[in-house]
């Protein structure tokens, strides 16, 4: 990139001269003038990480990566792109599993820039008495959890990517994770938003109100929109009392039916104290054991015997640890006596609890390559989804293995299909669409969803056409056209 002093262009804006051949419209110079030269990345080395997704399944090139540091800068960047007819791909932590956060490979001739929110990472305010925190969109989720904890509160969104995903991405995907059973999805955790609209205007909806019935609730348009309607720059998030007691149990169950029965039994005994309830198949545990062994660390099997299915449950409460432990042990004992669990290990320390959670959170990395499905059905239909889906898959792809795990308490399973060996899995991945078709057929019968948490991005953009009505698409397209008539926000995603 050429250096040199700033000039004035015909808008009166300061510009930094660029190599004219690489920047025929002068847009890059204008963007650099807004964000500073060092926050406009154009070289292959600097931009590579922004143009490829976490699983290295999607790649596309942009004109540049722009890294604004304030809402005002985001607004100017978006306005400049709109004036130049250049598309904007908002990006937070780039942990999207559906290719939502990177430029599409073929944008129909339209240039794209990646707008990274990473520099907008300030906690603007924490109102402990209102139980709210106001954060910029580029705050890493873990930093928000930490800020809440330091104020004696809980921000309950929690997922394996929490060390790198950012609040703007969480909001834009309406992320789920392991706390949904008790606290809901990200949509349930937001009270207000600040958004830069596709024409560069700023909507300030940063209200910390729990009640506000003054017309359409605009914030919910942007939650789960995957960056197709505007750029979220800040949010007011709900905080909760920080639990003072916590129990973590690794429970062996016969099958998914027993897991669902156990969920009902534990909820009846523990109520909302049951905060997480994750299903883990034995093959997933085995894959974590093998994965960590290959990296030089051991993952001990939490129970002495082998079982086909496990549940990782977390129970939290205020009050004394001893009281919660007693209540939890009594509930688990009753379930064991009633024959709705096969064995259980209750963590005796925070370190033991963390070790159990490490197993769960390592699964996505250990299961990096297979045919992924992020599906949901009513909780009561989970056993059918597993049994009927796997029977249909085995009939069509003999020897296939269901690397199934996930948020069974929310009816959401990561229904990932591979073979027993890597080469077989690679061959199966080449037939992904045929594998998807089998799972989606069962899902349709059970009235489920093909995307429970990761969104549509570019991965499921075509497929979703088969699963929603024409009326639903008409309404979505009208909303898109009303907010983004030029179609500049994250093209090729969702719609
Ligand atoms: P990105 O990947 O950068 O972006 C995601 C989408 O949001 C893109 O479409 C992007 O254009 C848009 N976007 C990003 N920022 C903004 C913004 N400020 N304004 C407008 N649009 C924006 N997801 C779950 O729901 N539950 C899980 O349990 C879960 N676990 C995961 C575990 C691992 C190991 C990984 C890699 C992913 C996991 N995910 C999970 C998926 C992913 O982490 C979530 O979708 C997360 O919310 C994305 O956040 P991000 O900051 O990485 O967003
Ligand atoms: C999780 O719950 C994520 O860990 C990732 O949603 C799911 O890797 C997956 O399939
Ligand atoms: Zn998940």
CB 429 within 8 A of CB 370: yes
d(CA 167, CA 232): 9
d(CA 322, CA 245): 8
Span 185-196, pLDDT tens digits:
999 999 999 999
Which residues approach ligand 1 with their CB closer than 6 A? 54, 89-97, 100-101, 117, 137, 159-161, 165-166, 168-170, 172-173, 175-177, 226-227, 231-232, 364, 453-454, 457, 490, 493
Residue at 479 is within a domain: no
Give the residue whose CA is nearest to atom 14 of ligand 1. 169
Phi, psi of 252 (to 5 degrees): -90, 135
d(CA 490, CA 495): 10
- Residues facing 413 on adjacent strands: 375, 406
- Cα 449 to middle of ligand 1, angstroms: 18
Number of domains making up the chain: 4
Which CATH number fits the domain that encloses residue 391? 3.30.70.2740
Which CATH number fits the domain that encloses residue 291? 3.30.70.2190
Q: Which of 283, 406, 412 to mutate to test the pocket of ligand 2 (most atoms within 8 A of CB)?
A: 406
Ligand 2, closest atom to CA 360? Answer: 4
Where is the domain boundary, 332, 366, 400? 366
d(CA 4, CA 271): 65
**pTM of the predicted protein model:** 0.95
- First-to-final CA distance of the chain: 35
CA nearest 23: which of 86, 78, 73, 79?
Answer: 86
Claim to verify: residue 129 and residue 106 sit in the same structural domain: no
pLDDT for 3: 32
Claim to verify: residue 360 and residue 379 sit in the same structural domain: no
| Parallel, antiparallel or unpaired: strands 64-66 and 112-116 | parallel
Pair of tokens at residue 10? 């015909």
Q: How many helices (H) and strands (E) does the chain have?
A: 15, 20
Residue 455 Cβ inside 6 Å of ligand 2? The answer reads no
Claim to verify: residue 190 and residue 227 sit in the same structural domain: yes
Claim to verify: residue 212 and residue 262 sit in the same structural domain: no
Ligand 2, closest atom to CA 160? Answer: 4
- Of the ligands numbered here, which is closest to the C-alpha atom of 57? 1
Instruction: Using DSSP, state whether 127 is helix, strand or coil.
Output: strand
- DSSP assignment letter at 243: P
- DSSP assignment letter at 140: B
Q: Which of 159, 358, 435 to mutate to test the pocket of ligand 2 (most atoms within 8 A of CB)?
A: 159
- Of the ligands numbered here, which is closest to the C-alpha atom of 223? 1
- Of the ligands numbered here, which is closest to the C-alpha atom of 455? 1
Where is the domain boundary, 62, 87, 116? 116
Residue at 397 is within a domain: yes
pLDDT for 367: 87
d(CA 446, CA 404): 18
Pair of tokens at residue 148? 């809440």
Where is the domain boundary, 116, 142, 157? 116
Residue 406 Cβ inside 6 Å of ligand 2? The answer reads yes
- Of the ligands numbered here, which is closest to the C-alpha atom of 234? 1
Pair of tokens at residue 128? 């402990």
List the alpha helices (DSSP H) in 153-247.
167-173, 180-183, 219-222
Match 């099958």 to its residue by tokens.
255
Claim to verify: residue 85 and residue 142 sit in the same structural domain: no
Pair of tokens at residue 184? 């809901």
- Cα 455 to middle of ligand 3, angstroms: 11
Residue at 437 is within a domain: yes
- Of the ligands numbered here, which is closest to the C-alpha atom of 160? 1
Ligand 2, closest atom to CA 361? Answer: 4
- Of the ligands numbered here, which is closest to the C-alpha atom of 97? 1
Phi, psi of 232 (to 5 degrees): -75, 125
Ligand 1, closest atom to CA 137? Answer: 18
Claim to verify: residue 251 and residue 161 sit in the same structural domain: no
Ligand 1, closest atom to CA 457? Answer: 9
Claim to verify: residue 289 and residue 234 sit in the same structural domain: no
CB 299 within 8 A of CB 331: no
Give the residue whose CA is nearest to atom 3 of ligand 2. 364
Which CATH number fits the domain that encloses residue 226? 3.30.465.10
Residue 367 Cβ inside 6 Å of ligand 2? The answer reads yes
Instruction: Using DSSP, state whether 13 is helix, strand or coil.
Output: coil
Residue at 31 is within a domain: yes
Domain span at residue 398? 374-445
Point out the residues of the chain with pLDDT beneath 50: 1-17
Give the residue whose CA is nearest to atom 10 of ligand 2. 414
Rounded to the nearest 5 percent, the helix, strand and coil shares of the chain are: 40, 20, 40
d(CA 100, CA 82): 20
Beta-carbon count within 10 A of 45 CB:
7
pLDDT for 364: 95
Residue at 300 is within a domain: yes
Q: How many residues does the chain have?
A: 495
- Cα 146 to middle of ligand 2, angstroms: 22
Span 67-109, pLDDT tens digits:
999 999 999 999 999 999 999 999 999 999 999 999 999 766 7
Claim to verify: residue 354 and residue 276 sit in the same structural domain: yes
Residue at 461 is within a domain: no
Give the 3-state secondary structure of 375-426: EECCHHHHHHHHHHHHHHHHHHCCCCEEEEEEEHHHCEEEEEEECCCHHHHH
Element spanning 374, H or E: strand 374-376
Q: Which of 77, 169, 188, 224 to mutate to test the pocket of ligand 1 (most atoms within 8 A of CB)?
A: 169
Claim to verify: residue 134 and residue 194 sit in the same structural domain: yes
Residue at 2 is within a domain: no
- Cα 130 to middle of ligand 2, angstroms: 32
Q: List all residues 6 or more positions away from 129 whose beta carbon is below 8 Å from its beta carbon.
A: none
Match 């197709």 to its residue by tokens.
228
- Cα 309 to middle of ligand 3, angstroms: 17
Which CATH number fits the domain that encloses residue 82? 3.30.43.10
Ligand 1, closest atom to CA 168? Answer: 18
- Cα 156 to middle of ligand 3, angstroms: 15
* Exposure of 142 in the CB half-sphere (CA atoms within 13 A): 8
Residue at 142 is within a domain: yes
């Amino acid at each position: 990139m050429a250096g040199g002093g700033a000039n004035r262009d015909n808008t009166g804006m300061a510009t930094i001269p660029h190599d004219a051949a690489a920047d025929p419209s002068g847009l890059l110079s204008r963007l650099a003038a807004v964000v500073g030269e060092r926050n406009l990345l154009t070289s292959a080395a600097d931009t590579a990480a922004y143009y490829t997704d976490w699983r290295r399944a999607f790649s596309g090139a942009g004109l540049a990566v722009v890294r604004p540091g304030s809402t005002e800068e985001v607004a100017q960047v978006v306005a400049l792109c709109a004036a130049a007819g250049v598309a904007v791909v908002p990006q937070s932590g780039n942990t999207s599993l559906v290719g939502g956060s990177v430029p599409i490979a073929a944008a129909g001739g339209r240039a794209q820039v990646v707008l990274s929110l990473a520099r907008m990472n300030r906690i603007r305010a924490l109102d402990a008495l209102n139980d709210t925190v106001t954060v910029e969109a580029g705050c890493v989720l873990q930093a928000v959890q930490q800020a809440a904890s330091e104020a004696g509160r809980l921000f309950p969104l929690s997922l394996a990517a929490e060390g790198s995903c950012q609040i703007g991405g969480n909001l834009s995907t309406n992320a789920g994770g392991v706390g949904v059973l008790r606290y809901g999805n990200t949509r349930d955790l937001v009270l207000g938003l600040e958004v830069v609209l596709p024409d560069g205007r700023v909507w300030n909806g940063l209200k910390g109100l729990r009640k506000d019935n003054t017309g359409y609730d605009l914030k919910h348009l942007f939650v789960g929109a995957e960056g197709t309607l505007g750029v979220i720059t800040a949010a007011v998030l709900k905080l909760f009392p920080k639990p003072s007691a916590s129990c973590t149990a690794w429970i062996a169950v016969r099958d998914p039916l027993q897991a669902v029965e156990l969920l009902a039994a534990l909820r009846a005994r523990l109520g909302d104290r049951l905060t997480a309830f994750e299903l883990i198949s034995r093959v997933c545990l085995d894959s974590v054991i093998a994965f960590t062994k290959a990296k030089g660390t051991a993952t001990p099997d939490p129970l002495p015997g082998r079982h086909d299915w496990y549940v990782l449950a977390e129970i939290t409460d205020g009050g004394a640890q001893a009281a919660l432990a007693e209540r939890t042990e009594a509930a688990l004992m009753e379930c064991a006596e009633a024959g709705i669990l096969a064995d259980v290990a209750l963590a005796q320390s925070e370190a033991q609890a963390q070790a159990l959670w490490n197993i769960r959170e390592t699964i996505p990395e250990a299961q990096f390559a297979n045919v992924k499905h992020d599906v949901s059905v009513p909780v009561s239909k989970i056993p059918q989804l597993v049994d009927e889906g796997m029977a249909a898959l085995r009939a069509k792809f003999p020897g296939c293995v269901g690397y199934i795990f996930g948020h069974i308490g929310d009816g959401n399973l990561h229904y990932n299909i591979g073979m027993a060996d890597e080469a077989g899995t690679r061959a199966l991945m080449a037939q992904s669409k045929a594998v998807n078709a089998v799972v989606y057929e069962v899902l349709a019968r059970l009235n489920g969803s093909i995307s429970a948490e990761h969104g549509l991005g570019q991965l499921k953009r075509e497929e979703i056409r088969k699963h929603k009505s024409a009326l639903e698409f008409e309404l979505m397209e009208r909303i898109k056209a009303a907010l983004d008539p030029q179609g500049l926000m994250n093209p090729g995603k969702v719609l």
